Structure 1
Amino acid sequence: MKAFLKAAMAALILTPAVAAPALAQNGPLRIEITEGVIEPLPFALPAFVAETPDATEMAAQIGQVIAADLTGTGLFREIPREAHIQRIGVFDTPVSYSDWQAINAQALIVGGVSMQGGKLVVKFRLFDVFSGQQMGDGQQLAASPASWRRLAHKVADVIYSRITGEGGYFDSRVVYVAESGPKDARQKRLAVMDYDGANTQYLTDSSTIVLAPRFSNAGDKVLYTTFETGFPRIKMLDLASVSARLLPEVPGTMTFAPRFSPDGASIVYSLEQGGNTDLWKMGVDGGQPQRLTNSPSIETAPSYSPDGSRIVFESDRSGTQQLYIMSASGGEPTRISFGEGRYGTPVWSPRGDLVAFTKQHAGRFHIGVMRTDGSEERLLTASFLDEGPSWSPNGRVIMFTRESPGAEGGAALWSVDISGRNLKRVPTPGAASDPAWSPLLR
């Protein structure tokens, strides 16, 4: 038990600035995490048992996705199957803990897959090898065979949560702008994919420029900016029907940078009129818009706090692009960014404790985070052009756009842990920008 505790603490990347979670409530361990990573936690995942002949291929694919989800976090390391001593041929095979201890497995994942009445059924159990105990109850999930990837992500989410004490983020999607064509004449359309780049679907064509898609908190709708009328307008797309409608406009204005309120009842956005840009709010079904700011400056990129009580946004009212927080009903804002350089595209963490942002300083672009009072600023990335952060559902990972320089350069999606570790490119079929992470799917 002590050995597992030490390994688990070493495996989890958190900084002192992040609240320390506890291990799974149903497990034998409860840990406080205050230190950085030394080595990823080693786990063993024997091939999931195909309990019916028609489930063999699915069992192999599901196990691969679960392993990829866990190792992709940078917190876990899979022990190769050829190193396994015990072989799991039946789901209920008693666990020989000494065999798994011998290869230094800290966690063991055992699963079974079957087809029952046209449904794909996945069951699994998680074991703490060094304490010799099962962590939580075994679980069984069922869905259509076409949803096998979602089942795998759900299993990985449960395992991740039990070991780290945090919510998972694998069963989620990302909406983004898919780009094609030369750099000086890009064609853009909306696309949505699984968080890991699989199952890409295109939501719009490339007949007009689209920008900055944003999910509703229910994950069923997407707001974005379109230029289909020749000027920026806000459009709302229903994902179930893949139908979209333009939101009401004030004649002679341009509207852009929309974002849903946490309850989904209203939208905050930027409205430009007569050369001045302020923040406004309207109901999702229209109604009388409410002006939130009134300043001879540019206010844009608003983002709600998780409880809907406050809004963080960018403004140049101080003479340079900086971050401000104000009440969701408007009023005098408070500046929170005071470092060197310019700050933009702020996004409130789902946990409520941090704000992610884009920073430009000394010819470089960065993705960073700070406390909501502006303290403890940390820069996580640096490149020719990094911008537009979006949070994973559990507030652990940030996805953003990275643009490469030169005439042949292009935009791509990248992700990074909030500690600044595990920086990696997110696979997409082509160039991509403006990611927005959904909540966990339902």
Structure 2
Amino acid sequence: MLRSLTWALALAGAAFAAAPVAAQDGPLRLEITEGVIEPLPYAVPAFVAENAAAQQYAAEISRVVASDLSGTGLFREIPASAHIARVTSFDAPVGYADWKAVNAEALITGAVSVSGDRLTVKFRLYDIYSGQQLGEGLQFAATTASWRRMAHKVADAAYSRITGESGYFDSRVVFVAEAGPKDQRQKRLGVMDYDGANVQYLTDSSTIVLAPRFSPTGDRVLFTTFETGFPRIKLLNVASVTAQLLPETPGTMTFAPRFSPDGRQVVYSLEQGGNTDIWKMDLNTGQSSRLTNTPAIETGPSFSPDGSRIVFESDRSGTQQLYVMSASGGEPTRISFGEGRYGTPVWSPRGDLIAFTKQNQGRFHIGVMRTDGSEERLLTASFLDEGPTWAPNGRVIMFTRESAGAGGEPRLYSVDITGRNLKAVTTEGAASDPAWSPLLP
């Protein structure tokens, strides 16, 4: 049983206000294709502290912005030691020649001020070679506790203006935090910033939990729990951190839940009498309907973004493969035909790709394919890679990678859809079952 999900966690007191701070559109644009090899060079001087209370935050915010952008593999930061110009005032004219001399193509400047527990961040983005500001400057305001979110918002805005795509930095990931020996792992649900910071825990480790899934609005979490001794689906309210079991049919086991795009329904697997099928439940009424009815094992359902179709895994053909059917059920269409076994399919938020886990010749892979099964592309290969989840913009995939041997443990990794920018995600300990949220409000 594998896992993934979507969510948004609103931080108390972190209601953001964004306001334009003026400029014209420039020609700087990074086209993201499989041919992009050379990262775009950019500079992020330390943001200007506009009062003494802001000094602690100014440098930290600019460092998070740089980490976000450089971490994509699409951008290369020019270090401060190479800078000729010094930014001491947010409103000072930009010395384009100085930045051009160090080969910067983009420049991000910012300023930070603090009043009480309120923090304000302003930023501007410049196209060095055209000598223009790119888009309007923006201003974000929130509590000082939310300074990392404001840094992510600045990075998202810069990323979007340069690439033409939406960003993914101001997002969260829910996951299973693991501790203890391999044969006695304790598991609890945790949630963190996309880069591993600001970890919070949603459950304790008194029972096994698997496969967390957030509602599209981030106010609820679905997950599988073994608290009754058998797998059951539980629905957790994020604000109150209270949870309740979903209705069940006696004598059955339920697992692998996922919300519909409108958050009103849950699609999941139900096992009864040794047979596992895909079911759908209306969360308002608790009424369930059966979507598949075969002797095969059918699990891992995931809705398309428009809610019209469901992709799932089934061994009805004799091996574990991927199928797509109408969201109301009916005869499915097989879409995987390569060598090996396919599982844990997840529809991209863009709707154009399906990510999956593939096992072939003793190796595990994270891959993507078109929704009709064409253009299959394997992005990773290792002893055990599994459970992909999509970034909000459909550009990056996070997954679980487990190392071999008696001391092996799961860790989180991410990779872009070209397969190039593979990297570990920082967590405090062993972690599995990541599920990425949409951008936070």
Q: C-alpha displacement at 1:118, in angstroms?
A: 3.5
Q: Distance in 2 between matches of 1:81 and 1:387?
A: 39
When the two structures are superposed, what TM-score results if normalisation uses the length of structure 1? 0.93
1:284 CA displacement? 2.0
Give SS of 2:296's match: coil
Could you tell me how far apart the structure 2 residues matched to 1:426 and 1:318 are?
36
Q: Distance in 2 between matches of 1:321 and 1:162?
A: 42
Q: Is the 8 A contact 1:278 1:293 kept in 2?
A: yes
Aligned to 1:296: 295
Q: Flag structure 1 segments of 5+ consecutive residues without an equivalent.
A: 1-24
2:59 aligned with 1:60: yes
The list of structure 1 runs, each at least 4 consecutive aligned residues, that deviate by more than 6 angstroms after superposition, is none
Aligned to 1:223: 222
Pair 1:428-2:412 in alignment: no
Say if 1:225 and 1:232, in contact at 8 Å, map to a contact too: yes
Letter of the 1:163 counterpart? I
Question: Residue 148 of structure 1: CA displacement?
Answer: 0.4
2:148 matched to 1:149? yes
Offset of 1:116 from its aligned partner?
3.3
Is the 1:114–1:121 contact (alpha carbons within 8 Å) kept by the matching residues of 2? yes
How many residues are paired up? 418
In the TM superposition, 1:127-206 aligns within 5 A as: 127-206=126-205
In 1: Cα distance, 2:197 partner to 2:30 partner: 34
Q: Which residue of 2 aligns with 1:326?
A: 325
Q: Distance between the aligned counterparts of 1:97 and 1:106, measured in 2?
A: 10
Q: What is the percentage of aligned positions where both structures have the same residue?
A: 78
Q: Give the counterpart letter for 2:422 in structure 1.
A: L
1:237 CA drift (Å): 1.1
Would the aligned equivalents of 2:32 and 2:163 in 1 still touch at CA under 8 Å? no
Q: How far 1:37 sits from its partner (Å)?
A: 2.5
2:372 matched residue in structure 1 = 373
CA contact (8 A) 1:414 1:424 kept: yes
| C-alpha distance in structure 2 between counterparts of 1:35 and 1:283, whole Å | 41
After superposition, where does 1:6-405 map in structure 2 within 5 Å?
Answer: 26-29=25-28, 33-116=32-115, 118-405=117-404
Write the distance in 2 (CA, Å) between the matches of 1:398 and 1:217: 18
1:33 to partner: Cα distance: 4.8
SS of residue in 1 equivalent to 2:58: helix
Q: CA distance change for structure 1 residues 286 and 319 in 2, over 3 Å: closer, same or farther? A: same
Q: Secondary structure at the match of 2:123?
A: strand
| Letter matched to residue 438 of structure 1 | S
- 3-state secondary structure, aligned to 2:183: coil
d(CA) in 2 for partners of 1:174 and 1:129?
Answer: 35
Q: Which SS does the other structure have where 1:156 is aligned?
A: helix
Matches of 1:310 and 1:423, distance apart in 2: 30
Counterpart secondary structure, 2:182: coil
Return the offset for 1:122: 0.1
Deviation at 1:217, TM superposition (A): 1.2
For residues 168 and 250 of structure 1, the distance between their equivalents in structure 2, rounded to whole angstroms, comes to 42
1:30/1:200 CA distance change after superposition, 3 Å: closer
Post-superposition shift, 1:294?
0.6
- 1:86, 1:254 → 2: CA distance? 64
Q: 217-226 or 174-183, which moves further after superposition?
A: 217-226
Contact in 2 for aligned 1:177/1:432 (Cα 8 Å): yes
Question: What amino acid maps onto 1:77 in structure 2?
Answer: R
Displacement after TM superposition at 1:286 (Å): 4.0
Q: State the alpha-carbon separation in 1 of the partners of residues 30 and 429 from structure 2.
A: 42
Asked whether the equivalents of residues 346 and 358 of structure 1 are also in contact (C-alpha less than 8 Å), the reply is yes
Distance in 2 between residues matched to 1:31 and 1:113, nearest whole Å:
28
The question of whether the paired residues in 2 share the 8 Å contact of 1:269 and 1:302 is answered with yes
For 1:59 and 1:431, how far apart are their aligned partners in 2?
32
Q: Secondary structure at the match of 1:295?
A: coil
- Note the residue ranges of structure 2 that are not aligned, 5 or more in a row: 1-23
The alpha-carbon distance between structure 1 residues 381 and 32, as it changes in their structure 2 partners (threshold 3 A), is closer
- Using structure 2 for the length normalisation, give the TM-score: 0.93
In the TM superposition, residue 38 of structure 1 has moved relative to its aligned partner by 2.5
Aligned to 2:21: none
**Separation of aligned partners in 2, 1:192 and 1:35:** 32
How far apart are 1:238 and its partner, in Å?
A: 1.4
Is contact 1:313–1:345 with CA below 8 Å preserved after alignment? yes
Counterpart Cα distance in 1 of 2:274 and 2:46: 62
Q: How big is each residue's C-alpha offset from its partner over 1:215-258, in whole Å with a ceiling of 9 and x where there is no partner?
A: 11112221100000011000011111111111111111000000
Local SS of the residue matching 1:150: helix
Deviations 1:155-205 (A, max 9, x none): 100000000001000000000000011001111110000000001111111
Q: Is the 8 A contact 1:247 1:286 kept in 2?
A: no
Aligned residue in 1 for 2:9:
none
SS in 1 for 2:159: helix
User: How much has 1:287 moved relative to structure 2?
Assistant: 2.4
Give the 3 Å change call, closer, same or farther, for CA 202–169 of structure 1 in structure 2.
Answer: same
Kindly indicate whether the alpha-carbon contact (under 8 Å) linking 1:213 and 1:222 is maintained by their aligned counterparts in 2.
yes
Q: Larger relative contact order (C-alpha < 8 A, sep ≥ 6)?
A: 2
Moved more, 110-119 or 151-160: 110-119
| Aligned counterparts of 2:263 and 2:233: Cα–Cα separation in 1 | 16
Question: AA paired with 1:385?
Answer: L
- 400 and 121 in structure 1: CA distance in 2 versus 1, 3 angstrom threshold: same
Q: Which residue in 2 is equivalent to 1:5? A: none
Output the CA distance in 1 between the equivalents of 2:30 and 2:85. 29
Shifted more, 32-41 versus 216-225: the winner is: 32-41
Please tell me whether the aligned partners of residues 25 and 133 of structure 2 are also in contact (alpha carbons under 8 angstroms): no
RMSD: 1.1
1:6 aligns with none
Partner of 1:9: none
Determine if contact 1:248/1:286 at 8 Å carries over to the other structure. Answer: no
**Using a 3 Å threshold, how does the CA distance of structure 1 residues 143 and 367 change in structure 2: closer, same or farther?**
same
Distance in 1 (CA, whole Å) between partners of 2:369 and 2:37 is: 24
